[in-house]
Amino acid sequence: MRQKRRGTFGSEKVDRTSPHVVLMHEDPQMSGVLCYSLATGVIHIGRKNGDPVPEIILPSIGIKPNHAKIMLLENGLFEFSVCDADAALNTMVNGKTLPKKRSKILNHLDRIAFAGGMIYIFHYPLLSRVQKKIVEQNASENEGMEINL
């Protein structure tokens, strides 16, 4: 019987059934090995001299000290946002630049690409349950609208 594959974050194990991001690497043996849990509700991304010190450190040119963050919203969805317009120019989600508001609600298996070719995959296996709960909570507002999840 095969066990669930687990990644590491520092010395901790990351539960791959909870929200997390995984590094995709050009080396197939490294791809999927580094995982960062979103259990705390927020994860900062940037250079090692950022304040606060980011959990994901990217040493590439074009990365700001506090480049981006992924944050849990009150409704249970995760929002990816960058610090400023320059950071937005060096960051893409699913191959597209960020909208003018410099943030995007993440979906399961979204790809986040940074300057220097670093790509992370956002995993949220239970996202459809969270979305269904949001729709049910807003049922009175959505009455008469057809919504396919």
State the Cα–Cα distance between residues 8 and 74, nearest whole angstrom.
27
Instruction: Flag whether pLDDT at 111 surpasses 50.
Output: yes
Structural domain boundaries of the chain? 7-137
- Reported pTM: 0.77
The mean of the pLDDT values for the chain is: 82
Quick one: fold of 7-137? Tumour Suppressor Smad4 (2.60.200)
Q: Mean pLDDT throughout 50-57? A: 91
Alpha helices, H only, 36-112: 85-89
Question: Which pLDDT band holds residue 34 (cuts at 50, 70, 90)?
Answer: confident
Q: Render 57-79 in DSSP notation, one character per residue.
A: E--STT--TT-EEEEE-TTS-EE
Closest C-alpha among 33, 46, 40, 44 to residue 18: 40
pLDDT for 2 = 36
